[in-house]
Structure formats: C-alpha cells, structure tokens
C-alpha cells in the first residue's frame, strides 16, 4: 500500500516499537507513545485492521500482521537511517535530527532510501 498517511505510518511504527519492548501492545500504550487520545488510537486501529495491517479485537492486544510488520519495519528502518545520516554524518543536533527524521521518513521514496543507504555505507567504509 503506497498511499499511507503520515499518521498511519506513525501508528505502525509505534506498534512495532512497543511490541519490540513490551511484547504485547494495548491502545493505552500507543496513546502514551504518540501522546494522543485513546479514541484517536481506537479509530486508527480500526483503520489498520480493515487495511490488514493489524489483528485485534475490542479490548484485546494489538498485533501486527505479517504485512503490517514488514511495512512497520520498513518505516522504522528509514527513520533510523535518516536519524543516523542527520545526526552522525551531518552533525545536526539530536533533537533537530529526530524531528527532521520523523518528518522526512514519510515522504522519502523507497528508491531514495536505498540510495541514501548505499551512500551512508560508502562513506562509512571510507573512514
């Protein structure tokens, strides 16, 4: 699915990161992680379920589907790549780099991400 909104990508990434740390994901944890309301999270989880990215029942744990996990990992990988590039290579201060990485990850194409990854790897190998 190519036309994901920024907020849907944020939810997928949040679910992925919470699951890595806590093993189970609840609506309340997502709301705290993203600093948004419980009703907003519930609505988004319904959208994610209809899109086939999560499995959940009302008042139960939220789990990423295989497709949702692949997509969330991809989003998070772009985030980490951008954060590294901005903070470690360009020496942008951490707070600004984090903010910018979060913004850029949503509009960075797969092609550009792959080329940035190759560029970073090339620069690291020259050191």
Beta bridge partners of 58: none
Give this prediction's pTM.
0.87
What mean pLDDT, rounded, does the chain reach?
91
Domains defined along the chain, listed by start: 6-70 (1.10.10.10), 78-126 (1.10.60)
pLDDT under 50 in the chain at which residues? 1
- pLDDT at residue 66, as a whole number: 97
Question: Of 53, 32, 52, 123, whose CA–CA distance to 85 is shortest?
Answer: 123
- pLDDT at residue 127, as a whole number: 62
- pLDDT at residue 125, as a whole number: 84
Classify residue 61 as exposed, middle or buried by CB count within 10 Å of its CB (0-12, 13-18, 19+): middle
- pLDDT at residue 1, as a whole number: 44
């Amino acid at each position: 699915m190519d036309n994901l909104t920024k907020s849907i990508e944020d939810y997928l990434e949040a679910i992925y990161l919470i699951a890595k740390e806590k093993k189970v994901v609840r609506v309340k944890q997502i709301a705290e992680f993203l600093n948004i309301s419980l009703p907003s999270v519930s609505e988004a989880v319904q959208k994610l379920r209809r899109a086939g990215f999560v499995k959940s029942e009302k008042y139960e744990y939220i789990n990423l589907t295989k497709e949702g996990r692949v997509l969330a990992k991809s989003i998070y990988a772009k985030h980490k790549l951008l954060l590294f590039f901005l903070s470690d290579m360009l020496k942008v201060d951490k707070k600004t780099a984090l903010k910018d990485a979060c913004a850029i990850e949503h509009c960075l194409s797969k092609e550009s991400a792959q080329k940035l990854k190759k560029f970073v790897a090339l620069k690291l190998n020259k050191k």
